[in-house]
Structure 1
């Protein structure tokens, strides 16, 4: 083909030819119609079958994308990755198709064609097809831009569960706007002209801030000592949880001096630029290279790479799995996401270090498995304040009489249009202004719900004589770097923003935080609070001004400041927590009454467990396993056991089982509850059960002897360092680190087999040297009960070692 080609009609022929040859296919369109998917489905299926990587991203702007189109895409092949960009009313209309062949050749198409029949065949469309050999730099830039959009925090993965929600939103939208749907039906999907947005989000590379001496600060020194112990114990993975403002990046740099080649992975380019500067300050003799966007400096001693670039197969293939001695993953609470997991699974470093201020869902469980159960160091910002390593806070809770119960909740956020109706009012802006004037200090960051609210409040404050800016991806007239500089110098009173300062950008001099948004995510709230707690000359404390209404999590978020998180009064957590010395919690009486009322009306536990389960089911696109519920669920998995006796018991209550599964559960509930609840001072019972399950569906109920189990048991207990340390290092078992079949068999007979037989009320037996499970399963129930038993066993082993490891760490500290 020619190097650059203009196509003014029937793009389908060009697309299908490229689809037949490509090893990587990336499609980004503002909307997708079922007719367009049907047109390309056979070619996409063939591509996936020959091993091609296929990623498709579309948007929900004006709800033009048909649910039927997304469903058809899902049906083609589960290996096709599909993301939906949640536009929140912001125009979204890119049209790009990128192709890469195994030999490095390829093409990309940009133009006016969305993924619909008419756009690809009979419509009046203009597209440029460009061979990437003649525009390699532009192609790589387009590839990088696609990756950022595909993995953007506003995208959601499309699966059968999330599709149900989109279908509901789609139908509601078109009930309110029936003419739009009629227009599409009547014109057979002719191209809708959508407004464009100019400009790209600015990349800020802040100048490095050098400490007076490049030696670890106290928190960093503590963490380094724990990491050194981790290395000495033979671990190859660990996580450090350290509050914002304590220097996680410098900690990583100090630790990296022990290794030759380092890969630092993050999801924001600002973080990568700052990390590169920090590492250079610590190790000026090493070469430093960036790997994102146009920068592809992959041969440096220290490589700072965007997860979005590494998520592309051609970029990942640029490296060897064992190329790096140390891999550092910043903001490790993102690491359970598929993009990170793919990269983590690819590389085989000598050591993997995850660093984060806020483990996802506030407890870090979801990354436990990724770091082999080893949280080397953990310091919450409350502890850091108590140690005087972060500034104390003075919190002011201002009552907001907005009735959020009347605003539609969309699963993870409030409906933006409905929220704007109550937020964008002069009387509300005046209330915010008065609260701010009453308690503010010198430099403020205000966190808003939307760009429109940020713009509205900034304009209102400016009319009252204050110097403020609304800083977001659509801001013109001032760059982010200029706004930060002006705020730091005192030329600005306040920056209104949505989420630009959640991660990666710090302004130590900020001494006031203003929250004029409902708290939808405790993780985000934690990150935003951390923006004001850095120590700074002349800053005695940080003022936090927070509007409190009857929105979700209003009563829970204050527990973030609690110095006694486990303490309850009359079986309930207090609405107003105890705070560290030097900190203050000042809450208006009306807000206190509201918090107490919300606390009294907390969602019943069973309902909360159900909705947290449903949220996870949507994320995964299927029913989660028991271990997945534990690792990724918002509720503590132990609560499911407490309320329902077993995970299958919860599924039965929640009506999540088929008729066949319901019958299997009812007939075998006693056995499942026994596996769930049998005492486990050590892991031994579940290790024996795990061995029996490993024999497969047809043989798992065949009785076993201690001699049969011994090799598996010994290997399981000794192959992971933390298993040895937790359950196999007392005086008796330590003697068995070197395998001795007779002694191991004797241990198994005396401990798990005899003990379980004695406590199981006849469900297990150990007679004449043979251990057996005494349940009778009809053939049609065997597979179901086997799978549930396997899931409970897997969960209990994981949860046992995790809990014991936490207990050991508490004793150490």
Structure 2
């Protein structure tokens, strides 16, 4: 054990059990209570420990298959790095299903045993760190179940101990004794347990135990209990308000499986139409919709009729019609234009087709309702306009999962098959896609990651029709009955689905025909054997398995990721992130977040493929921005402003500020051919507002400008009161800084042949004289233009909206991102000195340090001993620039302390993972130099000569949270 580790462990004990304020310690060494709160789950901590240990032992009484799926992804990567472990579990109360033990047998780098102790009810996780000679332990209330690790309110203590520590020795001895007495998990043991389980489990009340453990995970309502759920109740209220306000149209945007059909029935019940028409594109949908409506509305069967190629029950009170039949002129004219006073269009995103438009133009109902899961289309048709821009309710996939309206999923992104040492790519020939070797690899992975239930009901999406037929043939030949469906008739499709539901086949292999409009609730495994071309299609296909179904606890989504250029779409689609930020995409990919009790999991190779894809794509290209703009314009029915992007989340307004080709939003509107016209001065002022204030990092300037828009002037005292009322810190330094920003003197730094401030109009925006603030006369004149004032105020409102992310009572907010220029401003420095700052700058009372953690992604680093490095979550080793000595002025200044022993200069640490992540750094907080850690070293310079530098160890006042520590360092760990 190194002295460093020993010191950290001792500090952790003192921090956890003596005085947390006096003793600072790294997160991974400190005692900590884990309880699935504040966005940190017990699973997240388990995964972190697994990824950083040399071996592990789990001792848990109860295990469920739903948590084994994400665990398997981690274990598969650990095996590649030679990390092995043990699991000690039990047959106590027959809680563990036989399938659990069958899945445990699949783990090739884990030895599993069954405890012999009566009443084995332990929940503990032990992780060895052999190189550092310590162990970390999580022990408490959490079994290895999804509810316990992701959702339930649990109490688990996490602590760290020397290998020679008393508590560790006691725990290790107890584990060794229990392990020695336990019996190995074998196929023979499993066969015996399966027989006993069938006989004894019902007698011991196992079902009650299991229901207690899993109740939070899934609920399937009995068919007789058809009542509105939370989403439906809110939507029904909004639909009623629309009609009360005289609106004749409404649109409901709701993720697949959230009960849109029942919502329609509930609304028809409250609207009480004389006649009702339901329109869909498939008779199969009509049949199921008719049943759902009758459950809600009641009445005789004769009230419910179908109009299709096979049926002509056109006189029914509640008519369910296919678009293909109804749109025929001879059929349409059999009805009067006012025949129906309520019309509902299912899959309303299809309504741009000529057949739908013909019907919409013909009928004149009292109310038109459209329902869709995916209103975003690529055909430039404005579905929002069609329904009067009246969005009655909107719930997307991620919201529905959080609300437990859908079956949770476990997404597994893993590398596709390698042909001759190379991953399949976009140009892979059919002989590689449908080869016996690939099919064998795919089936191996499908068996390893499994599914919920006793039998697989799978849907496989592939790239080409011929591939679908060849894959189905090969999969069947290997003992897994499969049928390919591409352009077969509706009848054949329905027959094939029936075979899948009955368990007579295991898989349907298709391309795109099942993206939407199909309902197969029993699906428990979705397999993606194709390149992701569209976020919309990705979500449609993933959503096929999310409908709730009796005894289906989760659905396994297995995505085979090759060397595809569109891989970057995967994390964006899964998380619903539409910020157009590569940083966000990388963060989600690295952190692998949970959505409610659904998990997202990528193997290392799959992550690398997505990272590579992100490197080559430009998410904020003008083409992408135009698409988002048009979509929002369609949605609103007018020219969107920045605050609209902020409110509706279609794209983060900061994208406009960060785009180097766009000075401000006005220039984007010009590219969109919108009729705006500003003067050169107005353009420059808007440029300043967009680039400097829109981010909302400090609300002070925004509040002052907003106040001066409403009144001619404000006194210094009133302004201070305004700041305090809005939760902002106030002191002389920040007031002076505000003057420098709004007078533009902060930007008086030469950039080429001009001052930076000239780009912003060159003239102060605010005049501060005799303790009164006023808008400059030139700005007042400019604001007389209503177009400019609208855009100016839009930046103010959007910026103030964004201030909610930042702590306005302090200079910086932990884990928010800042550029060097942002830091200069927020430190209240007089000038923007970001250009020559590089790694750090020692100011009068503050020193910001900027660290790019991975400087050379290729791994071919020069001067390896000159790399800044986290030693743990609380300590980072940092090097000054060269040449520097212990007696250098800036080093002495950093080491200087006042009479109370406190540092004179506050050190603020900012870190980003690599240069690929742009100019922004995560703020990790204040640091102090560890006493006596400063040492002078010699390094080899670029010219081959030795240069002096100073190495220091910095201790963070607040240790880095696991998620951010993982984000910044994980890829460097192994």
- Greater helix content: 1
TM-score (norm 1): 0.49
- Greater strand content: 2
Larger Rg: 2
